[in-house]
Chains A and B, each alone.
Chain A
Amino acid sequence: MTDVLVVDDLDVTFALHDSEVKAVSDLDFSLAQGETLAVVGESGSGKSQAFLSIMGLLARNGKASGRAMMGDVNLIGLPPNELDRYRGKDIAMIFQDPMTSLNPTLKVKTQLAEVLVRHQGYDNEKANRAVVEMLERVGIPEPVKRANAYPHELSGGMRQRVMIAMALLCRPKILIADEPTTALDVTVQAQMLDLFKTLTHDFGTAMVLITHDLGVVAGIADRMMVMYGGRCVEKGPTDTLFYDPRHPYTLGLLHSTPHVAKRARRLDPIQGLPPSLEHLPRGCAFHPRCAFRFERCFEERPPLLPVEAVREKACWYQGELKYGEVA
């Protein structure tokens, strides 16, 4: 299986008035063709910024360094006009809020057709036909009518389907979905995940699914990456992380997710608050909230190291993790 994206040493820094804050540090991961990688972590852990930086969409005060190799091309640091050759064509992104992510002053078909005109060189007529086909494919009833509608005439679920159609128009190699279901009703969420599964499978598209809902991850992701304080703390195949988490933070996340914690005897939120990136704790950033910490955790930051052949974690603790014993 070939890797469609290889990220190496990715840092994202934001300049503040008289200091800077590092939202993502030393991120490494790869994405194989057609696979689904879930990226999980609490709010502010750097999930969105990591992938916005790969898309060249950081805020003005943000700066990325490192490598994000798509084939021979490093997407990090590419000037916008060169990035535009790949964005929307080989790598596409869906955003969290379908209500504000479509342009309110343009018809749906205009916003979709322009992608095909730009990247595939279609004329308008051909592009419009392809748009209607794609709308039908993502399960939008009366696609011709919807293509001629303005976004505000569609429901939230419908708009997210439009976003999905838009992202998949050029059958990209990579699809980044940033909390694509968070803003939607629970019933719609399940439909949407099915849709992702089917379409990425049909198109052979690799997907990054950013979420803080582990319930979503279970049914769809092949692999999983857990982030805390801008760093990856554990990654590996979804099953192994679910049934045998090795990082205390992963364990905590699992026990705070209703869907997943059914097996556990009780549901517990992780104690304490996510750290502020400006004042990250010394040593292991998770130590103030960790039930397994010991002296070493206060002083030295644990590196991300292989645990078994296919998984890695960043934690000094080597014993067995038993939930609730020490907490």
Chain B
Amino acid sequence: MFGYALRRVLTAIPIVLITITVCFFILRLAPGGPFDGERALPPDVMKNLRAHYNLDQPLLTQYLIYLGGVLRGDFGPSMVMEDFSVSRLISIGLPFTLMLGFSAFVVGTIGGMLAGAVAAVNQNKWPDYLLVAIVLVGIIIPNFLMANLVQLFFGVYLHWLPVGGYHPGSLIHLVLPIFILALPHGGRVARLVRGSMIEVLGTNYVRTARSKGLGTRLILARHALKPALLPVVSYLGPGLSYLLTGSLVVEQVFALPGIGKYFITAALNRDYGLVLGTTILYVFIILALNLIVDVLYAWLDPKVRYR
């Protein structure tokens, strides 16, 4: 198991390098730069700025300088938010984003699994139809639209929940964002669980379990749940990455102090350093998630364990 994990970590290194390289050059290919504002800056100022951020060097040299920095854990300065290093901005926004993302992940995963299992056990009866309908709505409606709808309904009309904003410790401000993020994720999980649960309930080994008189609860918990969760587990990695990327938008809509705020402004401003830094961070997170999922998968399915 340890050797397997180590191998996976080593294969991740080239992936990170390739991502950095591709992102670096694509960003530079895009027209415009960090200092193209509404009003053009005086040529002298522009020249100084470019020199300060090494933008006057050949592209390849810039690339090597950047790569060297990353290896030392330094993602360089933000080019638009002066006096802030990229690492600093990330460390301000990331904890909130992770907290939001993981909360939504936990809520969505557990909710989705329960909903999917209930739907499967009641296949083609009303709880099944109801859940399938909710899940469809949750998946089809994009989260920014859904976010606006719930803001209107629960915030503006009913005054039950705040429309946006956040101050540390205020859970009530997190209810709607978590719900919005958890809904499509939970929907996908529910759909997967429903499908695989129905399949598992029809297998010969569940029939064997029933022939032993074990009772529905034990059959579900011991015989059906684990195999039914296999396809779900392989979805959880990508699912959590969707969540974390989705949270960039949701943070913006609800005016939350996560990394999303910086990322989106950075992209609009061509803030090379900040965009790259955030992207690399996400690549890291996604790779780590996939690794965790694969290890979890090996635990669930004894057949994979020894490969």
Contacts and interface: CB of A to CB of B under 8 A. Distances in A.
B211 A87 contact: yes
Interface in A91-138: 92-93, 95, 97, 100-106, 110, 114-115, 118-119
- Interface magnitude class on chain B: 20 to 34
18 contacts: A55-B211, A80-B210, A81-B216, A84-B214, A85-B213, A87-B210, A87-B212, A88-B213, A92-B212, A97-B204, A103-B208, A104-B303, A114-B214, A114-B222, A115-B214, A118-B215, A152-B302, A166-B212
A153 to B, nearest CB: 8
A123 to B, nearest CB: 16
A86 interface: yes
Contacts, number: 81
A57 interface: yes
B300 interface: yes
A92 B214 CA distance: 12
Interface in A28-75: 55-57, 60
B226 interface: yes
B301 A105 contact: yes
Interface string B205-234: 111111111111010001100110000000
A89 interface: yes
Nearest to A83: B213
Main SS at interface, chain A: loop
Interface of B: 123, 203-216, 218, 222-223, 226-227, 300-303
A86 B213 CA distance: 7
A115 B222 contact: no
Nearest to A81: B215
A119 B216 CA distance: 15
Contacts of A101: 204-205, 207-208
Contacts of B226: 105-106
A80 B220 CA distance: 14
A88 B301 CA distance: 27
Nearest to B225: A105
Nearest to B214: A118
B207 A95 contact: yes
Contacts of A118: 212-215, 218
A292 interface: no
B205 A104 contact: yes
Nearest to B203: A100
Candidate in B211, B216, B300 with the most chain A CB atoms within 10 angstroms: B211
A95 B216 CA distance: 20
A150 interface: yes
Given A87-B210, A152-B302, A106 B222 contact: yes
Given A60-B123, A80-B216, A103-B227, 4 more contacts: A81-B215, A115-B214, A118-B213, A166-B208
Nearest to B300: A105
Candidate in A97, A104, A115, A119 with the most chain B CB atoms within 10 angstroms: A104
A167 B123 CA distance: 30
Contacts of A103: 205-206, 208-209, 223, 227
Contacts of A114: 212, 214, 218, 222
A106 B123 CA distance: 26
A87 B213 contact: yes
A101 B301 CA distance: 17
B204 A84 contact: no
A106 B226 CA distance: 9
Interface string A124-162: 000000000000000000000000001010000000000
A51 to B, nearest CB: 10
Contacts of A115: 212, 214
A232 B125 CA distance: 36
Candidate in B204, B213, B215 with the most chain A CB atoms within 10 angstroms: B213
Candidate in A55, A57, A84 with the most chain B CB atoms within 10 angstroms: A84
Contacts of B207: 57, 95, 101
